[in-house]
Structure 1
Amino acid sequence: MDLFAADPGTLLLFTAISFTAGFVDAIAGGGGLLTVPALLSAGIPPHLALGTNKLCGTFGSSTAALTFIRKGLFTPGRWWAASGATLAGAALGALLTRLVSAGVLKTVLPLAVLGAALYLLWPRRRSATAEPAFQPTRASQWTAGSLIGFYDGFIGPGTGAFWMAAAVRFFRLDLVQAAGLARFMNFLSNAAALAAFMTLGTIDYPLGLTMGMALMVGAWAGAHSAIRFGAPLIRPLFIAVVLAMSVRLLWQQFHG
């Protein structure tokens, strides 16, 4: 799809979706639950949609991650094991998409997005109070990083929300700290998967860069909002976004 040859309404729509995805992703994760269905709905082939989504997603996740680090709400040095596992898992997942046919991906992607959304609605979270004395083990970091990283490289949508759930439930972070961890790990997996998709040649660069600019603006606004308002904003928005995308995908499956 050549975005710049499309009508202004299409350009505006993709820009609005990307801004919203960046804002939501920076706060609660799940921005890919907006961008991937939008790309697929526009008729973009599944492999190209995944690669293009990684290009624009890298812009948004890098902006949000840098904001949390600058504010002192996330320290990368504490999470080297998770970082390495996330990079490796995401690169492997992205490369393996080459072995899957477009027809299979076209069927699997909507179902995977829907499954991720429904799962994220289900778990009951622990208290939002952090436990600073808790030190995540290297094994737990490797496990979370490799599994979620692989999912992000192979499928993608909902990765930030999965990291949020893991950070609160298994690493005992509060919601703001969890958002910082999720944004940083999402940036790493986006970057690793992007490199893999670049080697596969499955990226629409004009579309991805355009969406990426809008995602950056949305991510900057979302990260500052999350830091300022904390759990009262993060929790309801997280639930609302996942619920909305679940309903949307169900509608597409049965009436699309």
Structure 2
Amino acid sequence: MAELTVPVVVMLCLAAAMAGWVDAVVGGGGLLLVPALLIGLPEAAPAYALGTNKAVAVAGTAVSAVTYARRSPVDVRLALRFGVLACGSAALGAAFASAVSKEFLQPLIMVLLLSVAVFVVARPDFGTVPGGRTAGRRRQAAALLTAGAGIGFYDGLLGPGTGTFLVIALVSLLHMTMLTASATAKVVNVGTNLGALAVFTAGGTVLWQLAPLMALFNMAGGWAGAHMAVKRGSGFIRIVLLTVVTLLVARLAWDQWWA
């Protein structure tokens, strides 16, 4: 890999800060950070972009999770249960990452994301008001399997849109508002990032000479994003979610058919 230059480092740090903000509000920070790493480090293998992204993101999501927990209603015990399960699932997904065809998965992800966008647009009150009832054990178990095991595995396997999928799953299955779902998703996302990072670190695909500095900027962006989300509420998060889904679908379509 070529030696890092100051302009490249500055660009990557700014991208890390922006990714931290987006990730804190609704997830999807990898949409910004992974492409930035691929552009800034053209001679590095893609695995280094994925591994370094996890090393950076785990810091930002941790700051976001703590900020949310202090300023918004979060069931910390429930969130930790999700996070622990997601950690193991993400590690398993990362171990299988090299064996999966992106050509198969990316169109499937685009369909899922478009379905999410249509669903949210068709239901303007989705996630903006509480569901009015407590989720029962069956729904909690379904949420654990979906948001903990399933999405955790996906995050280790591929990654784009993990935070968005977590928010939608938590709102749909546990009747959370967008704000509470985003807060809970941050705790779960810490688990998925740690699980995947352990595998990438073992494989030697993390650029540790770069990741700590980018992590500081990611943490700053995550702190700012979490504060803004708490202040602006679920309606603001809903708008950001639809924007991120649109950009993520466009990015995946570019990778699939035009890149």
Q: TM-score, normalised by structure 2?
A: 0.85
Matched, 1:158 2:161: yes
Find the residue that maps to 2:28 and give its secondary structure.
coil
Q: Mind listing any 5+ residue stretches in structure 2 that lack a counterpart? A: none
Residue identity matched to 2:52: T
Match of 1:129 in 2: 129
Counterparts of residues 199-214 of structure 1 (less than 5 Å): 199-214=202-217
Matched, 1:236 2:239: yes
Counterparts of residues 119-198 of structure 1 (less than 5 Å): 119-124=115-120, 125=123, 126-131=126-131, 133-137=133-137, 138-144=140-146, 145-198=148-201
Match of 1:219 in 2: 222
Find the residue that maps to 1:196 and give its secondary structure.
helix
Match of 1:83 in 2: 83
8 Å contact kept, 1:120–1:161: no
- Aligned partners of 1:190, 1:178: CA distance in 2, in Å? 18
Question: 1:127 and 1:188, CA in 2 relative to 1: closer, same or farther beyond 3 A?
Answer: closer
Question: 1:110 and 1:47, CA in 2 relative to 1: closer, same or farther beyond 3 A?
Answer: farther
Question: 1:45 and 1:175, CA in 2 relative to 1: closer, same or farther beyond 3 A?
Answer: same
Percent identical residues: 32
Q: Mind listing any 5+ residue stretches in structure 1 that lack a counterpart? A: none
Residue identity matched to 1:21: A
Find the residue that maps to 2:149 and give its secondary structure.
helix
- Aligned partners of 1:114, 1:49: CA distance in 2, in Å? 21
Q: TM-score, normalised by structure 1?
A: 0.86
CA shift at 1:218, angstroms?
Answer: 0.3
8 Å contact kept, 1:39–1:49: yes
CA shift at 1:255, angstroms?
Answer: 4.7
Structure 1 segments (4+ residues) deviating >3 Å? 107-120, 248-256
- Aligned partners of 2:76, 2:242: CA distance in 1, in Å? 27
8 Å contact kept, 2:14–2:217: yes
- Aligned partners of 2:119, 2:163: CA distance in 1, in Å? 15
Moved more, 207-216 or 57-66: 207-216
Moved more, 110-119 or 68-77: 110-119
8 Å contact kept, 1:118–1:246: yes
CA shift at 1:77, angstroms?
Answer: 1.0
Residue identity matched to 1:16: L
- Aligned partners of 1:108, 1:6: CA distance in 2, in Å? 34
